[in-house]
Amino acid sequence: MTAAEMKASFLVQYDAATSFSSPGWEDSELSSFLNLAQDRLVEELYISKNFANMSNIVRNLGNLTLTAHPTITNAVYNSLTGVTDYLYYVSSRTLIAARTNPVATNEYFTNDVIDILLAQKFFKTTLNKVLFKYPKVYFENIFDSTAKGNSLVILYDAYTTAPTVGELVYVKYPLRIKIEATTVPCELNLMLHAKIVEYAVQEALKATKLSKITTQS
C-alpha cells in the first residue's frame, strides 16, 4: 500500500468500529499506531518462525571477521559495531578450517545458540578439555561495546582450530512508517500491509478507550 492507501484503509476501519463518533487523528498519530502495529506483527512472525513472510527485513551477513576473545581460551567474537539495525537473531554459521575429531576441513557448521549463563559450561580450562559437535553461539557486550546488538561470541571445542570467519542471519529493525511520506511507507511484504492496518486500528481503539477512562476519572 502507498501512504495514502494505508491512511484511507485505516480511517475506513476505524470509522466502522467507532460509528463515526470518535475524533480524528493527525497523520503523526496515525504513523505511531502503524509503527506499533508493525512492531507487533514482526514480533509475531519471529516467534512463529515465519521468516518467509518477512524476507524483506531478514539480513545475511557473510564473511564476518572473528577475533580471539580476550578472556575465554576457546572463543572468538565479532563486535557487530557496524550492525545498527539488529533486532532478532535467526541463525549463524562458523567456518571451521581444521578439526581433528571428527575430521573437518574448510567446512561451515551451523552454530547452536545458547544463553550467556549456559555458555560457561563450554569454556575450555585446565580441568575441562571440552568436546562438542557444533560450535556454540551467544551474545555478550565485550568491554562495553557500543554496538546496538551485543557482540557475537563463538565457542569451539578443544579439537578445532580457532575459526576466523563466520556468518549471521538476523531480522533487522523495520523502517518507521510515515503517513506524511509520498512513497510506500512500509518495507514489509505487501501481503502484510492489511494486517498492519488492522492492528493499527486496534491500537487506536485502545488509545480512545484509555482517553475516555482518563477523562471520566
One digit per residue, the tens of pLDDT, for the chain of length 217 reads 888 889 899 999 998 888 766 567 888 899 999 999 999 999 999 999 999 999 999 999 999 999 999 999 999 999 988 888 999 999 999 999 999 988 999 999 999 999 999 999 999 998 889 999 999 999 998 766 555 568 999 999 999 999 999 999 999 999 999 888 766 678 899 999 999 999 999 999 988 775 554 444 4
Q: Where are the alpha helices (DSSP H) in the chain?
A: 3-18, 27-47, 116-119, 193-216
HEC assignment per residue over 161-177: CCCCEEEEEEEECCCCC
pLDDT at 101: 87
Alpha-carbon distances of 9 from 34, 56, 63, 100, 201, rounded to whole Å: 12, 23, 43, 61, 10
- From edge to edge, which strands make up the β-sheet containing 58-65? 58-65, 165-172, 86-100, 103-110
pLDDT at 142: 78
Helix (H, G, I), strand (E, B) or coil at 159: coil
The one-letter code for the residue type at 91 is S
pLDDT at 84: 87
The residue behind cell 549463563 is 117
pLDDT at 214: 46
Cα 212–chain centre separation: 35
- pTM score of the predicted model: 0.88
Residues in the chain: 217
pLDDT at 91: 97
pLDDT at 1: 84
pLDDT at 150: 83
